[in-house]
A and B are shown apart, each in its own frame.
Chain A
């Protein structure tokens, strides 16, 4: 069984990076405390024996819903419309920051 565990400031900094969020220094300590409290509530689940019980990922009981592999124009945005809300575009493409060979540590 998993033991109750506190979320540390280092954990918070790591999670923020994974989630691509910039957080303020004063948020680091606050979030660590609040996440620890939340984890405490979640850890109460360990009082329930779930040995051999499968996980429920969804409740629809639907399996492998597919559609015919043909282009359905009713569900496709035109290029113009798809780009209409983007801040930066170039020749009909979205402009994104360079991530390959970037000097920034990922």
Chain B
């Protein structure tokens, strides 16, 4: 029998049905692995102290009623910017150290309603402000493939939890790259649903106009199951859509990609990108063609401009959102905020302040319109856009020091899609220097099903999903 930590959602459910193991067995297995590997990797910040008793309750349900909920007994790692009742939630910032949420976030409630069980809360860049998990107030998470490297971020803990196989599935959030980039650096699958597809209520706000909760998983098949669960109108988040949620798992298992039209963006093969990374993207494109897709090269606005747009929008929204941390109703004094958080609040305060609002904020929002319009035109003719997730593999620990624009540069190929609120998958497409590289498959708003269909067909016809042997890499 396969080892328990290697199982997909479907395989776990088969194991429960066949009576091969119980949810309590699975949870205990993960807790042993966490005890062994977490001290080195710093993936989990807090563990769920009631997890065993919760697993026992789920085991009784499985025994009595069988598997009648989509995530019944599936152990999850939850990014620590989602409020979870009874589990300390810090957003990896000292300002929330010891904070016990007064309510459950909408998406974690949906996971619980679907039967999921939470192992614990994972590390992130403080307030999700970064792409390295190095700006966490509780130390960086290390990359399971090579502990001298960063896991990416901001959902670095959740990505590393999947790569190190310390959970069956994980929840993350993306503002611009924060799911897909750490997934790429850790060699796992990340999925960013359309902005407004999954509710933000109880997700500690970063940039409210782009924050999107989404899964990090072993495969796109697992991501499809989780995405379906967390999607839909959230009565507590007015920006969520009432459009019906597609049955995403139904789009798995397509034989080929005949009739699918894909655009390869010329500008996304950056001049500064390593040739071996470009080669992997070109190989992925060849594979998509081989599977029957039509792939054309197209041209879009130089991605360098999305850095400027994103920087202004993100910093401005951060300065407003983080004003609630006043140490009065919850949390500690603003004096304990880390330098990165202070920097982001202040730059946003600057771009929104009198005299600069028009020059920076309104200008950025006008360029945002151009980016949105460009994508709309592309998706009139194409189902998806493909390219690299990140310009290169995981960077070394320490790489973010005194680099206030580190994340923006690493997420240069994802920012435009986030600014426009698109949906997209990030899937492993090969290795350079024994470090994984990710392929982005980006689709129009509310076309998650197409991204899932393409990513799944690619994943089943290639062999890039791999997990490190931690006893060798650590």
Contact = CB atoms under 8 A, between A and B. Distances in A.
Interface in B167-199: 195-196
A7 B350 contact: yes
B465 interface: no
Instruction: Give the residue among B305, B346, B353, B368 with the most A Cβ atoms within 10 A.
Output: B346
A22 B335 contact: yes
Interface residues of B, number: 61
A21 B337 contact: yes
Interface string B329-368: 1111011010100110111011101000001101111111
Interface string A32-76: 001101110111111110100111111110100101000000010
B100 interface: yes
B309 interface: yes
Contacts of B405: 37-38, 41
A54 B102 contact: no
A100 interface: no
Contacts of B421: 59-60
A77 B349 CA distance: 31
A60 B196 CA distance: 7
Interface magnitude class on chain A = 35 or more
B332 to A, nearest CB: 8
Contacts of B334: 20-22
A53 B366 contact: yes
B330 A85 contact: yes
A91 interface: no
Contact of A35 (B236, B304, B346): B346
Interface string A63-97: 00101000000010100011011111000001110
A106 interface: no
B368 A34 contact: no
B335 A54 contact: no
A92 B316 CA distance: 34
B342 A15 contact: no
A45 B343 contact: no
Nearest to B354: A18
Interface in B61-95: none
Contacts of B343: 31, 34-35
Nearest to A34: B404
B275 interface: no
A21 B329 CA distance: 18
Contact of B370 (A23, A35, A50, A85): A50
A23 B366 contact: no
B104 to A, nearest CB: 12
Contacts of A86: 328-330
B304 A44 contact: yes
B398 interface: no
Contacts of A81: 102
Contacts of A43: 308
B258 to A, nearest CB: 31
B52 to A, nearest CB: 26
Contacts of B345: 19, 21
Contacts of A10: none
B319 interface: yes
19 contacts: A15-B346, A15-B350, A20-B326, A27-B339, A34-B343, A42-B311, A45-B308, A45-B367, A48-B301, A48-B367, A50-B369, A53-B370, A55-B368, A58-B209, A58-B239, A60-B421, A82-B329, A85-B331, A86-B329
Interface of B: 99-100, 102-103, 195-196, 209, 235-236, 238-239, 241, 301, 304-305, 307-309, 311-312, 319, 323, 326-332, 334-335, 337, 339, 342-343, 345-347, 349-351, 353, 359-360, 362-370, 372, 404-405, 408, 419-421, 445
Interface of A: 2, 7, 11-12, 15-16, 18-23, 27, 31, 34-35, 37-39, 41-48, 50, 53-60, 62, 65, 67, 75, 77, 81-82, 84-88, 94-96
